[in-house]
Amino acid sequence: MKTGKTFIISDYMDPDEDIPEDLETSADYLCLPDKGELGLGRDLVFSFVEEKLPTEWEAVRAFFRRRGAYARFKDMLATRGMLEEWYRYEETSTEEALRQWCDDNGLQMSRSDNQMARKTK
């Protein structure tokens, strides 16, 4: 939080540099949320469907009972000419969720350079 430095931890890659030992326990670090934690995964799909395609609720719900749900969902949208509308909805929702997360964590997101900076009080 003090330096703005980013550390990436993954089971699928070796860290580029030494990771601080207190990374997961110190208040000096903030873990970035994933889509699910921000309500931007499956929840967002169902919000879109409820708002724009309420008659397709059951069909979309059935998509998400099996693998490949997002591909089937996007195929359905493409056949209805709504894929671009979905992308705009997803982009707007993502930006709103990120701005809220930043605000909740005392960060300020700049649209021009997509960087976050610590809010000064």
| pLDDT value of position 97 | 95
Q: What is the pLDDT of residue 111?
A: 61
Look at residue 15 in the predicted model and tell me its pLDDT.
65
pLDDT computed for residue 16 by the predictor: 62
Q: What are the structural domain ranges in the chain?
A: 36-118
Average pLDDT per block of 10 residues along the chain, 121 residues long:
74 73 81 89 96 96 96 97 98 94 85 49 41
Going from the C-alpha of 116 to that of each of 37, 65, 68, 108, the distances in angstroms are 18, 36, 33, 5
Q: Which residue has the tokens 């490949």?
A: 68
**Burial of 27: CB neighbours in 10 Å, binned 0-12, 13-18, 19+:** exposed
Q: What is the dihedral of CA 99, 103, 108, 112, to 10 degrees?
A: 10
